[in-house]
Amino acid sequence: MDSLSIYEVSPRDGLQNEAAVVSPEGKVALIEALVASGLRDIEITSFVRPRWIPQLSDAAELVRMLPRHEGVRYWALVPNQVGLERAIECGIRHVATFLSASETHNKKNVNRTVRESLASVEELIGVARDEGMEVRGYISTVFGCPDEGDVPVENTLRIGERLLSAGAQTLALGDTTGMADPAQVERVLAAVTTSLGVGFDRIAVHFHDTRGTALANAVVAYRAGVRQIDGSVGGMGGCPYAPGASGNAATEDLVNVFEQMGVSTGVDLDRLGAAGCLAEELVGRELPGRFHLYWKGARQRVAKPSLAARGRSA
């Protein structure tokens, strides 16, 4: 059977965009539920300055509290050398770096030019690899920028080449603002693999569902050869620079569709649905994932039989 790896980002990319600040205990419960569903790559936090993202200010405490499970890899986003040092001190062995293919988005996101960010990220990757860590390099706004519109694929190729040369094992191509369409995904993936001479085993994709295209884009990416796709339980998250963004590709939607296509994800959809409901309780709002809403509704119908059904049982 064909297989697909889901890289779960809800504890980091999901929670950092929520108004609610979830306690470390709540985050541990969510991560444990995700692990119980079968997810094996989970991005748990980011080592950023607490004032930048208060929702993730407990990074070190969270890492100390997390139980270790064989075969489960906990990832952390590191914005700079200080963040990397904190991750190393906490015992994190898998880190992700990031910068944007769009100059405007990069300046808004980290207050640096792309050139400045790239030099910093290259140095960071070198240190992480010297420490024996695995590194994932995110490139944001690959498929479009809300300020600049179309982003030339040459931007992504130039950055991707530098990240790979610095030692990143995986390039994660981000549709940060949900502007991608399936035809564009095909073109970008073909350009990246051909021009950079890299196999699909080193490419991941990260789609947002701002315009309702995340699932279609994921299927196209898989058919092109990608075997790692990012998801966030319940579709939690979003992007502060994409007005109306509805969040990341929902993990339940990805698992449901690919399993129906005969592609093994190794994830138990029922347990994943329970994790989605827990996430909803933690953030205090309904999450938008399509299968999540279906699963929750089905469970509620079973828990609360109709008046007619109750009358028949009487």
- Chain mean pLDDT for the chain: 93
Q: Which residues are catalytic?
A: 239
Q: What is the pLDDT of residues 263-284, one digit of tens each?
A: 999 999 999 999 999 999 999 9
Write the pLDDT tens digit of every residue in 68-100. Answer: 999 999 999 999 999 999 999 999 999 999 999
Per-residue confidence (pLDDT) for residue 307, from 0 to 100: 45
Q: How much is the pLDDT for 131?
A: 97
> What pLDDT is attached to residue 122?
98
Q: How far apart are CA 86 and CA 81, in angstroms?
A: 9
Q: Rounded to an integer, what is the distance from CA 176 to the centroid of its chain? A: 10
pLDDT tens per residue, range 166-206: 999 999 999 998 999 999 999 999 999 999 999 999 999 99
pLDDT at 299: 81
> For residue 311, is pLDDT > 50?
no
Domains of the chain, residue spans: 2-313
Rounded distance between C-alpha atoms, residue 306 and residue 201, angstroms: 49
Query: Terminus-to-terminus CA distance in the chain, angstroms?
Result: 47
Burial of 311: CB neighbours in 10 Å, binned 0-12, 13-18, 19+: exposed
Nearest one of 209, 176, 206, 190 to 292, comparing CA atoms: 209
Query: At a CB cut-off of 8 Å and minimum separation 6, what does 85 contact?
Result: none
Dihedral sign for Cα atoms in the order 125, 128, 134, 139: negative
pLDDT tops 50 at residue 308: no
CATH architecture of 2-313: Alpha-Beta Barrel (3.20)
pLDDT above 70 covers a percentage of the chain that reads: 93
**What are the start-end ranges of the H helices in 131-226?**
153-166, 182-196, 214-224
22 within 8 A of 283, measured Cβ to Cβ: yes
Helix (H) or strand (E) holding 281: helix 269-283
pTM for the whole structure: 0.93
For the cut 90, the answer to whether the pLDDT of residue 305 exceeds it is: no
pLDDT higher than 60, residue 242: no
